[in-house]
Amino acid sequence: MSITVDATSHRERKKRATRQAIHDAAFELVDRHGLSGTTVEAISERAGVAPRTFWSYYPSKEDAVIDHDPDLARSLRVTLLERPAGEDAVTALRATLEGYVGRRLVDSDKAVRRQQLIRREPHLMASVAASFDELERALVSAVAERLGLDPVASLRPQVLVMVACGACRVAQQKWADEQGRHTFADLLDQAFAELAATEAGSRP
């Protein structure tokens, strides 16, 4: 049994390493030469893999640059559903999003470069938007399940997710604009404080 587990773990580590190598190569080449000046063949050569290996990990150059993970939406949905049952939906969303984005900002220099690159390349921005849409739909499904609501009939799950994700995006963009002078957690605190103040001010 242990031999099987070790073999599986080795394969998974190798797959993660290959995926990371392809992403790193795509990011560096596109950052230097732009999307139009970068080919899948060049990315594959820099990553030390065959082009067919590239296509087995990513469906496009854009997805390789932003490191789109097809399993991420499901993973975030599970994370949100596993938050404490007594936690309100917005708090659970905030914790889930903070954990996800925080992991992407560990390498602060690369995170800032990523944001700048996305701004320069409209096709990357479109890929990011499509990825966010996928994540948001998964989170809406999870929020609806937590609240016992129909995600189609009720607007509440979608509104809560859009608000929380919007606050998260504002905080992340502010973090990138300031090149990490403030922590993402602090900026997210500010963004959600603004939401709370707006909600309080709207009450009669």
pLDDT single digits (tens) 125-179: 999 999 989 999 999 999 999 999 998 899 999 999 999 999 998 998 888 888 7
pLDDT on residue 112: 85
- 33, 101, 102, 190 from 142: Cα distances, Å: 40, 18, 21, 25
Quote the tokens at residue 132. 């966010």
State the DSSP code for 188: H
Pick the CATH number of 1-64 from 3.10.310.30, 1.10.10.60, 3.40.50.150, 3.40.30.10: 1.10.10.60
Instruction: Answer for the pair 45, 89: CB distance below 8 angstroms, yes or no.
Output: no
What CA–CA distance (Å, rounded) separates 20 from 22? 5
pLDDT on residue 108: 80
Q: Which CATH architecture has domain 69-204?
A: Orthogonal Bundle (1.10)
Cβ-in-10-Å burial (0-12, 13-18, 19+) of 195 comes to middle
pLDDT on residue 3: 53
Span of 17-21, 55-59, 91-95, 106-110 with lowest mean pLDDT: 106-110
pTM, whole model, 2 decimals?
Answer: 0.82
What CA–CA distance (Å, rounded) separates 204 from 54? 57
7-18 average pLDDT score = 84
Structure confidence by residue, pLDDT tens digits, 20-60: 999 999 999 999 999 999 999 999 999 999 999 999 999 99
Which residues, 6+ apart, have CB-to-CB distance to 46 below 8 Å? 25, 28, 29
Q: Where are the domains of the chain?
A: 1-64, 69-204
Are 1-64 and 69-204 in the same CATH fold?
A: no
pLDDT on residue 172: 87
